[in-house]
Structures are given as structure tokens and as C-alpha cells.
Homo-oligomer: A and B are copies of this chain.
Amino acid sequence: MYARVENDTKGRRQVFEACAEPCAIERGMRMIGGKWTGSILWHLKDGPVRFNDLSRMIGGASKKMITERLRQLEARGLVRREVMDTAPISVQYEITDFGRTAIGFLDALRAWTESLPQDTSAP
């Protein structure tokens, strides 16, 4: 089981892939290398965050993207979604223990990127 094909509400074909790539590097990249995926995981590392807060933390990504990536991370077991019974409604996203196993790698990546010469920004 490596690729899952479903139809969305309008019957359009949607492909979810766990990646059939034999190279571990490549599979890993497709697991957490998607646009915004790493950032989301990173911003969840210190505790649960609500949807709109996450949206604000990751400036540049549209809500659509954030939602898509969160759903993907949830399906892969890296993130947990929890609906709080408040008014107005609020939803919390939390990194799972499994998700946390990826933080080490992400931190190595962060360190590497920040060490680059043309780099003068904050994480």
C-alpha cells in the first residue's frame, strides 16, 4: 500500500501517496518536504496551536494550504486535531509523539540553513 486514490465531493480524482520511491531520502522528502509541511510541524513543537494562530505564524501560506497540509499530516499520524467545545468554536493542533521524532531532523535543517552566508533572517 503506497498510493491511495479517492474521489472528492465532485468526483474529481485525488491521489494521496505515501510514496513508492525506493530511495529513503526521496520518500522522506515527500513525507515532510511538501510546501509548508516542515514549517507547520516546527511551529507545533512547543505545544498545541489553534488554526488561525498557526496561520499567522506561517505568514505567506494561505488557509487552504495550511488546511491541506494539516489534513495530510493528520492522516500520516504526525499531528492530532482536536475540536474544543467553546463558542465560538476553536480547533487545536498538536504534534504527536511520532511527529516529534521528525523534529530532530528539522532542527538540523534549520541550523544548516541559518549557517548559510546570505542568511540574515529569524526563524
Q: How many residues of A contact B (CB 8 A)?
A: 40
Contact of A25 among B21, B39, B59 (CB under 8 A): B39
Cβ of A110 under 8 Å from chain B: yes
Contact of A39 among B23, B36, B110, B118 (CB under 8 A): B23
Q: Mark A10-41, 1 if CB is under 8 A from B, else 0.
A: 00000000100111111111010101111100
The verdict on A123 contacting B24 (CB below 8 Å), with A1-B118, A29-B109, A105-B109 known, is yes
Give A contacts to B, CB under 8 Å: 1, 18, 21-29, 31, 33, 35-39, 42, 58-60, 101-102, 104-106, 108-110, 112-116, 118-119, 121-123
